[in-house]
Chain A
Amino acid sequence: MKRFLHPLMLVIALAWSFPLYAVQPDEMLPDPGLEARARALSKELRCMVCQNESIDDSEAPLAHDLRVLVRQRLEAGDSDAQVIDFLVARYGEFVLLRPRLEWHTAALWGLPPGVLLVGIVMLIVAARRRNRAVLGGPASLSAAEEARVRQLLSDKGASTAPP
């Protein structure tokens, strides 16, 4: 029984030969320079059927197709920008993991430096206000209080017992 089972399992294992991995050995280009560019590009491109995975990491068949496509374009002599443009034209901006800076992504790119700037400005304003509160404090005595201060200062020797 066991003897029979083992080959069967191997057959089952072989049957599931959908690509389980990212970059496959047979996809890779012989030219190391070109392959390095392909890998770098792959990290910037999204596998559209996955959850936020790049085609470099993804095991989906679509990612495989895209990896092959990127390599074909590179072998045909495209520059990196041309490959990206080609894929965006074909699949839309969704394919880019680093969105381009355009009007509809301005808030996305602008927010991190924006929050930092607003934070710094708010801190400066708060510090100024605090300083003014401290410096301005003594000046805000009422007329009656000032009179009492003057009185206290003038008769130093007199009794200071509370009324």
Chain B
Amino acid sequence: MIAELGHYALILALGIALIQGIMPVVGTRSNDAALIAMAAPAAIAQFAFVAVAFIALAVCYVTSDFSVLNVFENSNSQMPLIYRFSSIWGNHEGSMMLWVSILTFFGALVAVFGTNLPALLKANALAVQAWIAAAFHLFILTTSNPFLRIPNAPFEGRDLNPILQDPGLAFHPPMLYLGYVGFSIAFSFAIAALLEGRIDAAWARWVRPWVLGAWMCLTVGIAGRSYWAYYELGWGGFWFWDPVENASLMPWLAGTALLHSAVVMEKRGALKVWTILLAILTFSLSLIGTFLVRSGVLTSVHSFAVDPARGIFILAILVVFIGGALSLYAWRAPLLKQGGLFAPVSREGALVFNNLFLTTACATVLVGTLYPLALEALTGAKISVGPPFFDLTFGPLFVPLMIAMPFGPLMGWKRGDLLGAAQRLLAAAVLAALAIAATFALEFGGPVLAPFGVGVGVFVMAGAVTDIAERTLILRVPVRTSLQRAVGLPRSAWGTAAAHFGIGVTLLGIVGVTAWGSENIAAIRTGQSLDIAQYRFTLDRVFERSGPNYNDVVGQFTVRRANGELVGVMEPTRRSFPNRDTVVTEAALMTRGFSQLYSSLGDPNPDGTVAVRLYFKPLVLMIWLGAAFMFVGGGLSLSDRRLRVGAPHPARARLKTAPQAAE
């Protein structure tokens, strides 16, 4: 009954989405205020029905209703509650339900909180939002229905893929989706602006909070996925340039560019047309990501061709929305007035530089991800594009970006002073040089370029501190005055500094772990020891343990320093799931400052030994700590007064200064 209720609610949501997508646009054409006013209540109602559908599915999962095919295939009554819940999005159908739930949730938020928006812009944006929602409702209902029943309900479900039974999985996909789908708001506003044929600086002010929010969620989602892979996959890799990861990285890169270009548009009225294009591209990349992950095209072009219904449907959504949006852009963008002159060396110039490199980096990831697919589809030739390609192309693009980053906030709008900015960054540069010298002097070994990576990271961090120091005039005026200035600084200034600081922190982490990480892999017996970095691991015993729906083989290690001082006990585990005939590794981690010791257990061998893998991961935690800084920075910016207080109403202002009045 509950599944049918959910199914019915989803069908109704599709109906409401169609109304929400058509009526406001008709109203705009025919100047019918009643039709225009339908958009907001429709958006709220649509969300309500999708929420009912999602809750219905959640109830089926939590109560383990195995008469529902989707629940039977992906859940199991013995799983803990949290995994019975998170397995909703651990499969295709359920994750699409999460997708539309978030999409309509954002639509409802715009309807409720967008009270200061011009009525036409709001109605059109909500209509565009409804087109997207309608397409995905239809997709779910026709090809990926999670509410289908099985005639003879089985007693037990098949279980969730064990590798997904982990707290990290319960948390990161919803964050990724909040990010992906959050960019749909920017897309809808861009299309609405193109439909209206006019746009002004206030547009950027309305859209920026949504982009910021989406960007924050995406940042946390990517970092969360990376940390999950780090501890779940058993050997401590944190980034694989896997197409699924690239699918989330591309919208992040484009979204970061969009955040920065929207600042220029808001403050200076420049880069309008470019910002609109970026808004379209960012969400298009989210759609492409959904297509890549959901169509099965990644596994192989052939598996896509074998069961093409879903793939073709998403491909059609892609073509209609991306193609349509870009055509509309090509047609209407020339109507939008450009404004705001600036010298190449200026804050605007720095932000353009940022956009140039971020979009190039994004294009690099896109081509690297799609090229093998395209080549195979066109010529049949099979090639692979993997981490070595991305390291070689993506890395060099990020270096100039990082070096330029501290300069941007120190430059004035319109016409900046590069020399002045460089002088103010002198302390940061000296600090970076010292860090490079120290790294060389300490002779950690590792790649020759590594100390320079450390230098760039320190420069970015010190540059962010310099920005705040310059604004508060610290050490130049009495401390009291500095503190007053610090309190008075706009939150967005703190946000910029925190996020930029976070980039530096992440870079240090990446450099540290890739350059100086070490490993020791060996097969040992109980009682034997293995060394890694300055630590000695002794295997005390190997024992079994059983959990709710799995059995563990645990290796217990005592960890000591080289001088014999006891550090602790680590218990890497091999976890087998009888329901799925699968074994996964549960690595054990021990945090030492920003670094970690990482151990995982292999198979017990017939001769009584067991394979043990030990890793020392220097500075690895800084990778995710940096992401936390970025998240906090985004939050500070989001709480800035100018984004909370309503933007001025340009329509009214324009009436007052109409040209006739001046004559």
Asked if B521 is at the interface (CB within 8 A of a chain A CB), the reply is: yes
Asked if A20 is at the interface (CB within 8 A of a chain B CB), the reply is: yes
CA A93 – CA B380 in complex, angstroms? Answer: 12
Asked if A147 is at the interface (CB within 8 A of a chain B CB), the reply is: no
Cβ–Cβ < 8 Å partners of B546 in chain A = 9
Q: Which of B239-295 touch A at CB < 8 Å?
A: 240-243
A10 touches B544 (CB 8 A): yes
B240 interface neighbour in A53, A99, A107, A111, Cβ under 8 Å: A53
B521 touches A94 (CB 8 A): no
CA A107 – CA B363 in complex, angstroms? Answer: 12
Q: Which of A6-44 touch B at CB < 8 Å?
A: 6, 9-10, 12-14, 16-17, 19-26, 28, 43-44
Known: A14-B604, A14-B606, A21-B235. 4 other contacts (CB 8 A): A10-B544, A21-B600, A94-B383, A94-B384
Q: How far is the CB of A3 from chain B (nearest CB, A)?
A: 12
* Stretch with Cβ within 8 A of B (4 or more), from A73-81, A119-127, A138-146, A151-159: A119-127
Q: Which of B342-364 touch A at CB < 8 Å?
A: 344, 352, 356-357, 359-360, 363-364
Given A9-B546, A20-B583, A21-B613, A97 and B384 contact (CB-CB distance below 8 Å): yes
Cβ–Cβ < 8 Å partners of B578 in chain A = 12
Asked if A104 is at the interface (CB within 8 A of a chain B CB), the reply is: yes
Q: How far is the CB of A114 from chain B (nearest CB, A)?
A: 9
Cβ–Cβ < 8 Å partners of B660 in chain A = none
Cβ–Cβ < 8 Å partners of A127 in chain B = 344
B521 touches A23 (CB 8 A): yes
Q: How large is the interface on B (under 10, 10 to 19, 20 to 34, 35 or more residues)?
A: 35 or more
14 A-B pairs in the complex with CB atoms less than 8 angstroms apart: A6-B544, A20-B574, A21-B602, A21-B611, A51-B298, A57-B237, A93-B383, A94-B383, A98-B386, A104-B379, A104-B381, A109-B393, A115-B360, A120-B356
B389 touches A52 (CB 8 A): no
Given A9-B551, A20-B603, A22-B235, A119 and B356 contact (CB-CB distance below 8 Å): yes
B379 touches A95 (CB 8 A): no
Kindly report which residue of chain A lies nearest to residue B382, judged by CB atoms. A94
B299 touches A51 (CB 8 A): yes
Cβ–Cβ < 8 Å partners of A130 in chain B = 341
Asked if A1 is at the interface (CB within 8 A of a chain B CB), the reply is: no
Given A20-B603, A28-B521, A54 and B383 contact (CB-CB distance below 8 Å): no
Q: How far is the CB of A30 from chain B (nearest CB, A)?
A: 12
Cβ–Cβ < 8 Å partners of A9 in chain B = 544, 546, 551, 576
Cβ–Cβ < 8 Å partners of A22 in chain B = 235
Kindly report which residue of chain A lies nearest to residue B389, judged by CB atoms. A98
Cβ–Cβ < 8 Å partners of B604 in chain A = 13-14, 17
B388 interface neighbour in A43, A53, A119, Cβ under 8 Å: A43
Kindly report which residue of chain B lies nearest to residue A162, judged by CB atoms. B663
A107 interface neighbour in B344, B352, B371, Cβ under 8 Å: B371
Q: How far is the CB of A117 from chain B (nearest CB, A)?
A: 9
B298 touches A54 (CB 8 A): no
Cβ–Cβ < 8 Å partners of B344 in chain A = 127
A52 touches B611 (CB 8 A): no
Q: How far is the CB of B517 from chain A (nearest CB, A)?
A: 13
A51 touches B611 (CB 8 A): no
CA A25 – CA B385 in complex, angstroms? Answer: 28
Kindly report which residue of chain B lies nearest to residue A39, judged by CB atoms. B519
Asked if B523 is at the interface (CB within 8 A of a chain A CB), the reply is: yes
CA A138 – CA B394 in complex, angstroms? Answer: 45
B356 touches A116 (CB 8 A): yes
Q: Which of B213-253 touch A at CB < 8 Å?
A: 233-235, 237, 240-243
Cβ–Cβ < 8 Å partners of A111 in chain B = 363-364, 367
Asked if B522 is at the interface (CB within 8 A of a chain A CB), the reply is: yes
Q: Which of A86-120 touch B at CB < 8 Å?
A: 92-99, 104-105, 107-109, 111-112, 115-116, 119-120
B341 touches A20 (CB 8 A): no
Cβ–Cβ < 8 Å partners of B394 in chain A = 112
CA A109 – CA B390 in complex, angstroms? Answer: 10
Cβ–Cβ < 8 Å partners of A98 in chain B = 386, 388-389, 392
Q: How far is the CB of A128 from chain B (nearest CB, A)?
A: 11
Asked if B397 is at the interface (CB within 8 A of a chain A CB), the reply is: yes
A24 touches B602 (CB 8 A): yes
Asked if B585 is at the interface (CB within 8 A of a chain A CB), the reply is: yes
B359 interface neighbour in A21, A52, A119, Cβ under 8 Å: A119
Q: Which of B563-616 touch A at CB < 8 Å?
A: 574, 576, 578, 581, 583, 585, 600, 602-606, 611, 613
Residues of A participating in the B interface, judged by any CB pair closer than 8 Å: 6, 9-10, 12-14, 16-17, 19-26, 28, 43-44, 46, 51-54, 57, 92-99, 104-105, 107-109, 111-112, 115-116, 119-120, 123, 127, 130, 134, 162
Cβ–Cβ < 8 Å partners of A107 in chain B = 367, 371
Cβ–Cβ < 8 Å partners of B521 in chain A = 23-25, 28
Q: Which of B272-324 touch A at CB < 8 Å?
A: 298-299
Given A26-B523, A93-B383, A115-B363, A12 and B576 contact (CB-CB distance below 8 Å): yes
Q: How far is the CB of B372 from chain A (nearest CB, A)?
A: 8
A52 touches B240 (CB 8 A): yes
CA A73 – CA B603 in complex, angstroms? Answer: 27
CA A23 – CA B612 in complex, angstroms? Answer: 11
A20 touches B585 (CB 8 A): yes
Cβ–Cβ < 8 Å partners of B551 in chain A = 9, 12-13
Cβ–Cβ < 8 Å partners of B243 in chain A = 51-52
> B605-629 CB contact bits vs A (8 Å, 1 = yes)?
1100001010000000000000000
Asked if B375 is at the interface (CB within 8 A of a chain A CB), the reply is: yes
Kindly report which residue of chain A lies nearest to residue B381, judged by CB atoms. A104
Cβ–Cβ < 8 Å partners of A24 in chain B = 521, 602, 611
Asked if B432 is at the interface (CB within 8 A of a chain A CB), the reply is: no
CA A54 – CA B388 in complex, angstroms? Answer: 10
Q: Which 5 A-B pairs have the closest CB atoms?
A: A97-B386, A98-B388, A25-B523, A112-B364, A94-B382
Kindly report which residue of chain A lies nearest to residue B553, judged by CB atoms. A13
CA A22 – CA B521 in complex, angstroms? Answer: 10
Asked if B154 is at the interface (CB within 8 A of a chain A CB), the reply is: no
Kindly report which residue of chain A lies nearest to residue B234, judged by CB atoms. A21
Cβ–Cβ < 8 Å partners of B392 in chain A = 98
Q: How far is the CB of B544 from chain A (nearest CB, A)?
A: 6
CA A20 – CA B602 in complex, angstroms? Answer: 7
Cβ–Cβ < 8 Å partners of A96 in chain B = 383-384
B388 touches A16 (CB 8 A): no
Cβ–Cβ < 8 Å partners of B167 in chain A = none
B389 touches A99 (CB 8 A): yes
A119 touches B360 (CB 8 A): yes
Asked if B387 is at the interface (CB within 8 A of a chain A CB), the reply is: yes
Q: How far is the CB of B361 from chain A (nearest CB, A)?
A: 8
Cβ–Cβ < 8 Å partners of B606 in chain A = 14
A115 touches B359 (CB 8 A): yes
CA A9 – CA B381 in complex, angstroms? Answer: 46
Cβ–Cβ < 8 Å partners of A20 in chain B = 234, 574, 583, 585, 602-603
CA A142 – CA B475 in complex, angstroms? Answer: 58
A44 touches B388 (CB 8 A): yes
CA A107 – CA B119 in complex, angstroms? Answer: 46
Q: How far is the CB of A70 from chain B (nearest CB, A)?
A: 15
Q: How far is the CB of A33 from chain B (nearest CB, A)?
A: 15
A19 touches B544 (CB 8 A): no
Q: How far is the CB of A57 from chain B (nearest CB, A)?
A: 6
B387 touches A112 (CB 8 A): no
